[in-house]
Structure 1
Amino acid sequence: MPEQPAAHDPGADTAVGPAAGGAMAVATDDAGTLQRSLDQGPVPGGPGSGKARSLWSDAWHDLRRNPVFVASALVIAFLLLIAVWPQSIAPGNPLSCDLAMAQDGPSPGHPFGFDTQGCDVYTRTVHGARASITVGLCATAGAALLGSVLGGLAGYYGGWWDALLSRLADVFFGIPVILGGLVFLSVVTSDTVWPVVGFIVLLGWPQISRIARGAVVGAKQHDYVQAARSLGAGHTRLLLRHIAPNAVAPVIVVATIALGTYIALEATLSFIGVGLRPPTVSWGIDISNASTQIRNAPHMLLWPAGALSITVLSFIMLGDAVRDALDPKLR
């Protein structure tokens, strides 16, 4: 009896996105998994009500049971609290100093000691969280928004717009961060955080734009996008209703990890004197002032540097946990 040809699986042609490598492949797989989860009907024999869960509900289900995510989220929540209301645990004035107490060690009411100007290190460490976290959050939001819009449009339309954006991103990738900060920020006289935020956004959007471009290129190949286009859906509806929800996962992962990096970058720029400037209270400024007195008064360096390290590590750990939860290959 002749062998019967193998049955053709109609889902096999639509489950695989365009071939790509690196972050583009991960982005494409994430988008495809999310759409398949949304399009699935009731799962026979599934747990509970039998309804299929989306990628986001599965990710949240995994994150709640991940101790790394829980620990990092609690630390970040505490940091956000003291950034918004530093007076809740440090009611003193970070700019109030007494030279008679310069470089003194810990004492009752001043657990972290004093710096070279006689300022309370504990108060300055707590109040320094506001500037550093503000720079990190605003720079991440700006870079993610700008990179997602430009990268998404380039991936959707392609052609000369895609080529122009790719060459423009290459130009910004070639700018050294420290050298660019010295040139860009040395001519800015503002004492606010916004010049530093603008500089980080300027150098941070190309990375996110490439991730967004790869995710959109992968998502627009799926049959549900082609079907919506054949039914008369316009470009705006296709981008906002069908492509963007399925391409946003890799952007969120990259932005979450980059947030910790941007906080460290702000401290580095402040340390070399071109980032935030006094009277702004910043961990980078305090680390810079304490670096010359590390032998005589190590407590001046220990606390702001420790707070910076814990903050950066918490955001990076949070980004790793989110990446593991949103990556279908790790399930």
Structure 2
Amino acid sequence: MTEPTTEKPDRPGYGRMRRDRIDALATAGVVADEPGVSLIRSAWKRLRRNPVFLIGAAITIAFVVLAVISPWIAPWDVTARPLIDEVRPQTNPVPGPEAGHLLGGDDRGRDLFSRLLVGSRQTLVVGVFATLFGLLGGLTLGTIAGAVGGWVDSLVMRIVDVMLSIPSLLLAFTIASLARQPSQWTLIVAIAVIQVPVFARLLRGSMLAQRSSDHVLAARSLGVRPRAIVFRHMLPNSLGPVIVQATLSLAVAIIDAAALSFLGLGNPDQRQPEWGQMLGLAQKYISEAPHLAFYPAGCIIVVALGFTLMGESLREALDPKSRR
């Protein structure tokens, strides 16, 4: 006599459902094998969707392009005086806009629009070279302080503290006034000097944070020479915040250069126009022709805003604490 079976009868699709469920449970804890994403690539993914960065980048790119090609697209030579016949000191000291002269002229009959275009090149040269020299000086001091440590670190940081305790514009004014003849290079040197302590302190802090990192400790345990550890491991991984700061410092350099030129410490040669210089020359006619000051001041503000927006967006994109 056969015993009754207790197994469930096979239903259509029942076995397939069990297999699918077992496969789903088996793969639930498996992480997908995807390639890693670098910090720069992940930051770019966030930046290209950030409208603030796109606006700042558009302003910056337009400024750089115009500064490069300005001598070829300017409708008039900046030294020419096509409107000199319309300059009347008593009744019409500054010619207004007319056909062929979009923004009119200045008190010497020179085309204002052409001088604004060509002046962008001088502003860009001062800002870029001042930031570059300040970055190089800051990298040197910051690397020495962060790598050597000890009394060398203390000495360098005390010098940096003294420089930071003096208002930056006052320090730049003092340095620029020491030159016998004001020129474009006096502006570059003065602005570069006031940017050195900012880069030095920032790099030194980043390098101190890298000292206790795992890859540096591993390199030391393997017997890698200290010089190689500094220049191959610590310094390259500390440059991110410094590069972002350089973008922000460009905006500060442009404003400081305009301020020193406004005070008469820039290039006195009016054959090479610069926005700060044009702003200073416009003060004599601020009541009769305020547009002479409005246009260069507006250009300075817009360009500084572009670099600031781009730099702040880069800082947020590269900072893990600011990621959303």
Question: CA–CA distance in 1 between the matches of 2:86 and 2:179?
Answer: 34
Say what the alpha-carbon RMSD is for the aligned residues.
Answer: 1.7
**1:44 aligned residue:** 31
CA shift, 1:152, in A, is 2.2
Are the aligned partners of 2:183 and 2:266 in contact in 1 as well (CA < 8 Å)?
no
**1:304 aligned residue:** 296
Structure 2 spans left out of the alignment, 5+ residues: 1-29, 88-93
Are the aligned partners of 2:248 and 2:307 in contact in 1 as well (CA < 8 Å)?
yes
**1:83 aligned residue:** 67
- The 5 A counterparts of 1:238-317 are 238-279=229-270, 280-317=272-309
User: What does the per-residue CA deviation read over 1:77-134, in whole Å, with 9 as the maximum and x for residues that have no partner?
Assistant: 1211121221343142112124323411111111111111111110010001111111
Question: CA–CA distance in 1 between the matches of 2:153 and 2:172?
Answer: 28
Instruction: Write the letter of the residue equivalent to 2:55.
Output: A
Q: Which runs of 4+ in 1 moved over 6 A?
A: none
**1:105 aligned residue:** 96
Question: CA–CA distance in 2 between the matches of 1:268 and 1:320?
Answer: 23
User: What does the per-residue CA deviation read over 1:167-213, in whole Å, with 9 as the maximum and x for residues that have no partner?
Assistant: 11122123333433443223424564222111111111101111101
Structure 2 residue 103 is the aligned partner of structure 1 residue 118: no
Q: Which moved more, 1:216-225 or 1:169-178?
A: 169-178
Structure 2 residue 145 is the aligned partner of structure 1 residue 158: no
Question: CA–CA distance in 1 between the matches of 2:182 and 2:273?
Answer: 11
Q: Which moved more, 1:67-76 or 1:132-141?
A: 67-76
Instruction: Write the letter of the residue equivalent to 1:287.
Output: L
Instruction: Write the letter of the residue equivalent to 2:252.
Output: T
Question: CA–CA distance in 2 between the matches of 1:143 and 1:180?
Answer: 14
Are the aligned partners of 1:76 and 1:314 in contact in 2 as well (CA < 8 Å)?
yes
User: What does the per-residue CA deviation read over 1:214-250, in whole Å, with 9 as the maximum and x for residues that have no partner?
Assistant: 1000012112101112212122321222112211111
CA shift, 1:45, in A, is 2.3
**1:209 aligned residue:** 200
Question: CA–CA distance in 2 between the matches of 1:307 and 1:115?
Answer: 17
Normalization by structure 2: what TM-score? 0.84
Q: Which moved more, 1:231-240 or 1:137-146?
A: 231-240
Q: Helix, strand or coil for the counterpart of 1:85? A: helix
**1:59 aligned residue:** 43
**1:143 aligned residue:** 134
- The 5 A counterparts of 1:178-197 are 178-190=169-181, 192-197=183-188
CA shift, 1:327, in A, is 0.8
Q: Which moved more, 1:301-310 or 1:262-271?
A: 301-310
Question: CA–CA distance in 1 between the matches of 2:173 and 2:205?
Answer: 32
Q: Alpha carbons of 1:162 and 1:180: their partners in 2 closer, same or farther (altered >3 Å)?
A: same
**2:17 aligned residue:** none
Are the aligned partners of 2:282 and 2:292 in contact in 1 as well (CA < 8 Å)?
yes
Question: CA–CA distance in 1 between the matches of 2:32 and 2:180?
Answer: 65
User: What does the per-residue CA deviation read over 1:130-164, in whole Å, with 9 as the maximum and x for residues that have no partner?
Assistant: 11111111111111121122112211221011001
Are the aligned partners of 2:172 and 2:194 in contact in 1 as well (CA < 8 Å)?
no
Greater RCO (Cα-Cα under 8 Å, separation 6 or more): 1
CA shift, 1:324, in A, is 0.9
**2:9 aligned residue:** none
Q: Which moved more, 1:173-182 or 1:151-160?
A: 173-182
Are the aligned partners of 1:59 and 1:326 in contact in 2 as well (CA < 8 Å)?
yes
Question: CA–CA distance in 2 between the matches of 1:163 and 1:200?
Answer: 25
Instruction: Write the letter of the residue equivalent to 1:231.
Output: L
| Higher Rg of the two aligned structures | 2
Q: Which moved more, 1:65-74 or 1:188-197?
A: 188-197
Q: Alpha carbons of 1:101 and 1:302: their partners in 2 closer, same or farther (altered >3 Å)?
A: farther
- The 5 A counterparts of 1:220-235 are 220-235=211-226
Structure 2 residue 307 is the aligned partner of structure 1 residue 323: no
**1:16 aligned residue:** none
Q: Helix, strand or coil for the counterpart of 2:157? A: helix
